[in-house]
Each structure stands twice: as structure tokens, then as C-alpha cells.
Amino acid sequence: MTDGDWENGIPDIVCLCEHGGVCNGRHRCIAACEAGIPLTGWVARNVPREVIRYADIGLKRTPADALAGRGVSSYRTQLGAAVRLLRLYDTERDTHWSLWSRMRFTAPKIGALFDECYSEVVNTVDEGRQIESGTNCTPSAAAAFAYLMRREGGAERLAQVAYGLAGGTPDVRDILAQARTRLAREAKHRGRKADHNRAPYELGLLITAVMAKEAGKARFTFGETSPMPTLSFAAEQLTAEAV
């Protein structure tokens, strides 16, 4: 609304009950008040209380709803969780990742972060799904990792790593194969709703594995007490690869 991206001609009617309370269109009215702009449109007064339960009466909006309003057509729940994880990675690495589950972001905050910083996450969905399929890690960890790989290492390196984590590395001693096996094994022991708490650990494990491979190491270590590593590649190496 503040950006001028709003049409007052929306046909959805604002409904007021017999006491004057808003029983449909509450979010629209709140947004107009916060934006400080007039809201015009159709208003229905004295709507019987009996029909309120059939209307939208302020249901909680989710990050997926926020991304839907920005044109993201699929994988919205996973990408919303990935945006949160990426923000924590970028700003809270000094706080141990096991405490990240205490940090909550509202749906509007996720939407704003998507707009300001992470809209390109939609361009790595295919690689994220490839990584998720190969390792059975949580979707948000795979999506966030794919985005970081492309951001820090480029599209070619992301493709190579995604291929390796998806099973394209036949050597079981390879670092990516070790990470794939470990994540797949651990996935059998976590619950279906473990994404929120488990994702930071899996993101850290994936980053650690990639950085160990870049350093030519044969093994990697990442556990419950390990700090969140930083995904980075030498500038001269990136320049050479680009050429």
C-alpha cells in the first residue's frame, strides 16, 4: 500500500457485524491504518453474527501466504522457512545455531526479507529439491544451502555439489557421499515436524562437508556443539572459474 501497489476496486467486501466490528477485511483495514492511506470499497453493515464463522475473521497468515502474495507459485512453505534460516545464517552466526529455534519471524517479516534480500531463492528450487531428495534432509535446509552455494560459489559449483549430494558421487569415501549417507541415516530418527529445529544443524553439516572437500580433507566433523560454519570461497578461485 505504501508503495502504491494497491487497488481500491477489490471486490471483496468489508463486513461489519451489528456491533460495528470488522468480521471480514480486518487485515486490509489494519494495513490501511498502518500505511496512513484512505481505504475505499464496498462495505456491508449489520452482518448477522451467525454468518461470521463462514467469513475470513483474521486467520493467522503464514510465510507461505506472504510469498504467495509476491507471485511465488509453489514450494512456498519450504521457501518461507528457508528465508528465515538464511536471515539467521547471515545475522546470527555468533549465536549458536541450537538457539535459533527461539527466534521467530512474522509472516510480514518473511515477506519483507524475501523482497529485500532473498528473492533469488526461487531460482535454486530445483537444486534444493535435488539435494533434499538425495540426502533426505529437511526442505528448508536444502533450499537455504542451495541458495548460499549459488550466492557464494556460483551456479556451476552449486550444480556440482547438488549432483554429488543427490548420489552422483560413486566413491563412498568422498566427502559429499559421507554427508549424504549421514543425513539419510539421521533422517530415519527424526520426526516429520522437525524442520524448524533440525534445519540449522543440517545446514551447518552441509556447509562443513563442502568446505572440507574444498580444503582437500578426507573427513569432516560437525556435531551438536559445533558452531555454524561460514560458506566462502577464495576470490581468486571464483575469478578463475568465471573466466
pTM over 0.85: no
What is the domain partition of the chain in residue ranges? 1-59, 63-242
Do 67 and 80 touch, CB atoms closer than 8 A? Answer: yes
Tell me what the mean pLDDT of segment 30-54 comes to. Answer: 81
Note the pLDDT tens digit of each residue in 70-115.
Answer: 889 899 999 999 999 999 999 999 999 999 999 989 998 999 999 9
Tell me what the mean pLDDT of segment 32-45 comes to. Answer: 86
DSSP secondary structure letter of residue 170: -
Average pLDDT for the chain: 87
Tell me what the mean pLDDT of segment 172-196 comes to. Answer: 81
DSSP secondary structure letter of residue 71: T
Note the pLDDT tens digit of each residue in 47-70.
Answer: 886 766 655 555 567 899 889 888
